[in-house]
């Protein structure tokens, strides 16, 4: 299939894998034609997961028992995210690539929502695990990490996230698109190759639902937007601000849950990635790469495990919510990890061992 231009000069080439899953290459500048064919004998997967509503909390839970068989920490020479080279066939048929996105072979959510999507039996509401799960490969370099990328490559990843958000949001039944990266075995990453994931949910995630309720309450009480007030307050106070650009601000939140946690907001509020303007897009890579590099410097040598989570407004709630990125690590000292134990896992009540003000100061001092 011929490539189509997305936003100059990113080229997007849509192709497919042997079992029918979609694969999309994103390229900037000169790139070889992305026409390699997947030669692996793959059987189509039949995921059959389910979403269930917890009658007590109102939270959606995805039940995806088929994922137990997924690839777990393979040796580097069997990495499914490296390009296909030297007779070794991976998930990406090309010999090289810049950024590649494909449908997860072991998705938690897959397929269009059935009609009627949900069935209620008394207190029990459930439906098919409809939606889509994608894998985003940031680079063909197995040993790199996002922090090693050039600003140009980070921009290409941003373009890919934006394109996926636009396309997945438009699918029937999709309520929220979530782009994220887990980095480090400590986080539970099953593949070392630098990559992130995208979940297109058929529901609004529990955290976003709680945040939306707070924003609605703030609007009712003050007539103003919660996130605009929040960002203005942090910028005016300054003690927890880590990094500012012309178009973005990074700060440690007042009630941070994680030892080192940074929220990165565009100064002009937008609901999701598709609404960023060119000046915001152009500046993002520099601030984000700097934050990631500071995370890596926090504990001396070695890479800091982290979760990087894009918060985007659900498709039907674009008025009050604000696009932002939440970056946090479970590492609280060079040799100590924060585990979610009884208080956090049992009660959703976090105990943080580092004050947000100290965390912000250390992250400012870690500047390159």
- The smaller minimum CB distance to Zn ion, of residues 81 and 157, is found at 81
> 263 catalytic, yes or no?
no
Residue 292 Cβ, how far from Zn ion at the closest point, in Å?
19
Residue 191 Cβ, how far from Zn ion at the closest point, in Å?
7
Q: Cα dihedral sign for 86, 89, 90, 94? A: positive
Look at phi and psi of residue 73 and say left if phi exceeds 0, alpha if psi is from -120 to 50, else beta: left
Look at phi and psi of residue 210 and say left if phi exceeds 0, alpha if psi is from -120 to 50, else beta: alpha
Q: Count other Cβ atoms within 10 Å, centred on residue 14.
A: 15
Question: Which residue in the set 142, 257, 297, 364 belongs to the binding site for Zn ion (CB under 5 A)?
Answer: 142
CA distances from 317 to 78, 204, 216 (A): 42, 10, 11
Q: Does 294 interact with Zn ion (rule: CB under 5 A)?
A: no
Residue 81 Cβ, how far from Zn ion at the closest point, in Å?
5
Residue 80 Cβ, how far from Zn ion at the closest point, in Å?
8
Task: Collect all residues with Cβ–Cβ distance below 8 Å to 230 and sequence separation of at least 6.
Answer: none
Subset of 166-205 contacting Zn ion (CB under 5 A): 193
Residue 79 Cβ, how far from Zn ion at the closest point, in Å?
3
- The smaller minimum CB distance to Zn ion, of residues 95 and 365, is found at 95
User: Cβ(299)–Cβ(330) under 8 Å?
Assistant: no
Number of residues that bind Zn ion (CB under 5 A): 5
Q: Count other Cβ atoms within 10 Å, centred on residue 2.
A: 8
- The smaller minimum CB distance to Zn ion, of residues 14 and 79, is found at 79
The residue with its CB nearest to Zn ion is: 79
d(CA 114, CA 121): 17
Residue 216 Cβ, how far from Zn ion at the closest point, in Å?
44
Cβ-based burial of 316 (10 A; exposed 0-12, middle 13-18, buried ≥19): exposed
Catalytic residue selected from 66, 142, 193, 195: 195
Helix ranges, the chain (H): 151-169, 206-222, 226-237, 278-297, 347, 356-365
Task: Collect all residues with Cβ–Cβ distance below 8 Å to 188 and sequence separation of at least 6.
Answer: 182
Extract the tokens encoding 274: 């598709």
Extract the tokens encoding 250: 């990074």
d(CA 112, CA 152): 34
Task: Collect all residues with Cβ–Cβ distance below 8 Å to 350 and sequence separation of at least 6.
Answer: 257, 258, 343, 344
Residue 346 Cβ, how far from Zn ion at the closest point, in Å?
37
Subset of 66-125 contacting Zn ion (CB under 5 A): 79, 81-82
User: Cβ(361)–Cβ(260) under 8 Å?
Assistant: no
d(CA 45, CA 106): 8
Interacting residues toward Zn ion by CB under 5 A? 79, 81-82, 142, 193
- Which residues are marked as active site? 195
């Amino acid at each position: 299939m011929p490539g189509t231009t997305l936003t100059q000069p990113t080229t997007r080439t849509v192709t497919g894998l042997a079992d029918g899953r979609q694969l999309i290459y994103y390229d900037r500048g000169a790139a070889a034609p992305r026409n390699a064919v997947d030669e692996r004998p793959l059987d189509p997967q039949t995921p059959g997961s389910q979403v269930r509503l917890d009658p007590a909390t109102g939270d959606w839970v995805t039940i995806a028992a088929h994922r137990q068989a997924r690839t777990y920490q393979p040796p580097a020479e069997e990495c499914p995210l490296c390009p296909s080279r030297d007779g070794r066939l991976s998930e990406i048929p090309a010999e090289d690539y810049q950024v590649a996105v494909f449908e997860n072979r072991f998705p938690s959510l897959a397929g269009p929502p059935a009609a009627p999507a949900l069935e209620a039996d008394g207190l029990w509401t459930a439906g098919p695990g409809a939606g889509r799960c994608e894998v985003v490969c940031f680079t063909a370099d197995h040993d790199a990490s996002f922090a090693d990328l050039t600003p140009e490559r980070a921009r290409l990843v941003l373009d890919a996230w934006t394109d996926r958000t636009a396309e997945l949001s438009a699918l029937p039944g999709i309520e929220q698109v979530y782009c994220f990266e887990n980095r480090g075995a400590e986080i539970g990453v099953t593949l070392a190759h630098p990559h992130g994931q995208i979940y297109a949910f058929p529901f609004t995630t529990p955290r976003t639902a709680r945040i939306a309720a707070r924003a609605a309450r703030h609007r009712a009480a003050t007539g103003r937007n919660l996130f605009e007030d929040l960002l203005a307050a942090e910028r005016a106070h300054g003690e927890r601000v880590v990094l500012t650009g012309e178009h973005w601000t990074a700060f440690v939140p007042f009630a941070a849950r994680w030892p080192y946690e940074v929220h990165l907001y565009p100064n002009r509020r937008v609901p999701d990635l598709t609404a960023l303007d060119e000046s915001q897009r152009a500046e993002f890579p520099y601030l984000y790469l700097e934050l990631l590099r500071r995370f890596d410097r926090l504990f001396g040598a070695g890479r800091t495990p982290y979760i990087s989570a894009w918060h985007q407004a659900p498709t039907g709630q674009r008025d009050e919510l604000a696009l932002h990125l939440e970056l946090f690590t479970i590492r609280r000292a060079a040799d100590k990890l924060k585990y979610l134990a009884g208080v956090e896992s049992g009660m959703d009540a976090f105990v943080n061992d580092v004050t947000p003000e100290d965390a912000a100061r250390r992250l400012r001092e870690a500047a390159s």
